[in-house]
Chain A
């Protein structure tokens, strides 16, 4: 084993260490533990910024070659934004007194870093599952305030377990053929069935259409800071592994566009603000998956840039909607309205994030999303490119306009119930994210310098035409919203999605398993009652007879004697005075006769 810390301090150690220390401090009376929360991500940021690309932490364990520290430009880009978002997330969660929540968040973030730096499938799988368990806790920890979190958390965990098993099956089958666990890119022409299994396992976490429903089902039910963390790490870790392993797979190009459209279509109908944002994770991840599928240097850079920008603005969206939920106690649009005047800073933070996700010039979505779309057109994928533009219209319509309009601006009477004051740390976190969204939009170099594929500067977003085209597209989407805002008014309903299928399949499976079991159980009870019980009683009688007539008789008959004597004594105790008098007289007569006989 080489010197495992040589040149690279793995951020996972920092976050797992944070989790451990918090667990140890949980039973003490110290209050300074919360200052450790921002410290861990700061150390992670330092680690990511100072490390040189190289293979670190190469271990040989149980005859297997494990790689815990593959540090290259692709891994570093994701690690970079993960570290920054972890800092923002822990600042946002700073006021939270529940230590177990911070432990789960730290383990979850540590798991994400483990996945990003994993050079082999086995290491990846282990950290992948750690993330799955820790993120489930971030949903379940909300069950005191939101009973719906229990069921959503179970569904989330079951789906991720199925995804993990698909991935594990693929990994093991691949190992049988290839003979090692090395995690590298797979050329589409060489793809085998086990590669598809691995890719579909990744796809569950990336929210591929059909496998996606866990996302809008679970994220709206998580704790407020929990959803902020989850919006950043699960799907983007999946984007990272897809970019690493499956670049150029055409299936992903079409799947990505389907995700982009599915997400915006549902978001257009939704009422719960956090569910709208969840559908937009799916939609935005769709752009990234499409970029991976197209597989040119520009679209892959677009995917990376968009993942980076997305983590920042999506975190900000969840933070600002979380702040509304914190203050008002609800995130349902039909119950909110006109909050701009009462939560102006939250509204501003939301608007920055909403314009970023919509790709408005000045904000970071503009410099990232346009790269993927331009890459698609440059690769002559006209239909894919146009469908991505359709999704861009839907994005601005639903999350850039509908959500803030009905929560913060007009359309309905102003929300006039009392609002709980929002902790200052939540404002600081939102301010930091908003600053970064604008800074990257204005100075794309802040983002492009980290892009891992060649030709990162071939794309220039700030041209007169690109700005004008974007303003025309989004501006007239705004006009469309103005015309249709009466139609778009939110209603208190849930729109059924594939989670209904999951529940149906789950219940059918349960029925399928429990019905035959119940029948077999009933039949067995009947047989036991009719045959078994009678047989047992018969056997009991035989053994009892054998005991009495066999063993006891041949020994000294003491048991039967003692029983018979006891029986006589029992009947003698009748409680009637005349019986006792008769017995006493008989006894006295007997004794007198005995004395007379002996003395004669």
Chain B
């Protein structure tokens, strides 16, 4: 008798089919957050730039892009090895 297996869930399949709309929703939320940043600021700023609206948004975006690029495109090829190197 073959082992039982797990099959696709229909709700998740429907959501995945709507990924374009979900992306749009995500971008709208990000825009709303930046707009809110014009009205809500730090009471006691930890760093001087924090008072500029969108500072933490830029910080997150730039660092994520830079980290992904540097680690995957520059560092990983330098230190990459076959998975069984220590076997």
Interface residues in A366-416 (C-beta closer than 8 Å to B)? 374, 377, 382, 385-386, 389-390, 393-394, 397, 409-410, 414
Q: What mask results when residues 29 to 43 of chain B are scored 1 for a CB within 8 Å of chain A, else 0?
A: 110011011001111
Residues in B with CB closer than 8 Å to A340 are 9, 12, 16
Contacts of B30 in A (CB 8 A): 475-476, 478-479
Of A341-349, A557-565, A582-590, the one with at least 4 CB within 8 A of chain B:
A341-349
Please list the 5 inter-chain residue pairs (A to B) with the smallest Cβ-Cβ separation, ordered nearest first.
Answer: A480-B64, A377-B46, A418-B5, A476-B60, A484-B68
In the complex with contacts A268-B72, A421-B6, A476-B61 CB distance below 8 A: yes
A393→B59 contact, CB < 8 A: yes
B1 at the interface (CB under 8 A from A): no
Chain A residues contacting B71 (CB-CB under 8 Å) are 265, 268-269
Give residues in A with beta carbon < 8 Å to B. Answer: 147-148, 151, 264-265, 268-269, 271, 327, 338, 340-344, 347, 374, 377, 382, 385-386, 389-390, 393-394, 397, 409-410, 414, 418-422, 463-465, 468-469, 471-484, 487-488, 491-497, 499-500, 503
Q: Residues of A contacting B9 with CB < 8 Å?
A: 340-342, 344
Q: Which residues of A contact B47 (CB under 8 A)?
A: 377, 382, 385-386
Q: How far is the CA of A414 from the CA of B13 in the complex (A)?
A: 11
Q: Which interface residue of B8, B64, B67, B80 has the most chain A CB atoms within 10 A?
A: B64
In Å, the complex CA distance between A278 and B75 comes to 19
Residues A410 and B40 in contact, CB atoms below 8 Å apart? no
Query: Of the candidates B6, B59, B75, B85, which one forms a contact with A494 in the assembled complex, judged by CB atoms under 8 Å apart?
Result: B85
* Sample (18) of A-B pairs whose CB atoms are under 8 Å apart: A264-B67, A268-B72, A271-B83, A327-B6, A338-B16, A344-B9, A374-B46, A420-B3, A473-B57, A475-B29, A482-B23, A482-B26, A484-B64, A487-B69, A487-B73, A492-B83, A493-B76, A503-B86
> In whole angstroms, how far apart are the Cα atoms of A478 and B63 in the complex?
11
Q: Are B73 and A468 in contact (CB under 8 A)?
A: no
Cβ–Cβ < 8 Å partners of A264 in chain B: 67
Chain B interface residue count, CB cutoff 8 Å, equals 56
* A584 CB → nearest B CB, Å: 79
Contact indicator B68/A465 (Cβ below 8 Å): no
Q: Is the CB of B69 within 8 A of A341?
A: no
Q: For A471, what are the chain B residues with a Cβ–Cβ distance below 8 Å?
A: 33
B residues in contact with A418, CB < 8 Å: 2-3, 5
Contact assessment for A465 and B41 in the assembled complex, using a CB-CB cutoff below 8 Å? yes
In-complex Cβ contact of A468 among B29, B36, B67, B68 (8 A): B36
Residues of chain B contacted by A338 (CB below 8 angstroms): 16
* Main DSSP-derived SS at the B contact region: helix
Q: CA of A477 to CA of B57 in the docked complex: distance in angstroms? A: 8
Q: Are A393 and B63 interface neighbours, CB within 8 A?
A: yes
Pairwise interchain contact B68-A147, C-beta atoms closer than 8 A: no
Interface centre among A151, A418, A492 (most CB of B within 10 A): A418
Task: Output the least CB separation between A430 and chain B (Å).
Answer: 15
Q: Is the CB of A480 within 8 A of B68?
A: yes
Chain A residues with Cβ under 8 A from B68's Cβ? 268, 397, 480-481, 484, 487-488
B75 shortest CB reach to chain A, Å:
7
A88 and B8 CA atoms in complex are apart in Å by: 28
Nearest chain B residue, comparing its CB with the CB of A385 = B46
Given A269-B72, A476-B30, A483-B65, check contact A469 B42 (CB 8 Å). yes
- Residue interface mask B6-19, A partner, CB < 8 A = 1: 11110111001001
**How many angstroms from the CA of A484 to the CA of B33 in the assembled complex?**
21
Closest chain B residue to A497, Cβ basis: B79
Partner of B13, one of A265, A341, A386, A420: A341
CA of A144 to CA of B77 in the docked complex: distance in angstroms? Answer: 32
Contact of A495 among B11, B41, B80 (CB under 8 A): B80
Closest to B15 in A: A340
Q: How far is the CB of B34 from chain A (nearest CB, A)?
A: 7
* A476/B58 in contact, CB under 8 A: yes
Query: Which partner residue on chain A sits nearest B55 by CB separation?
Result: A472
Q: Which one of A338, A472, A496 has the greatest number of beta carbons of chain B within 10 Å?
A: A472
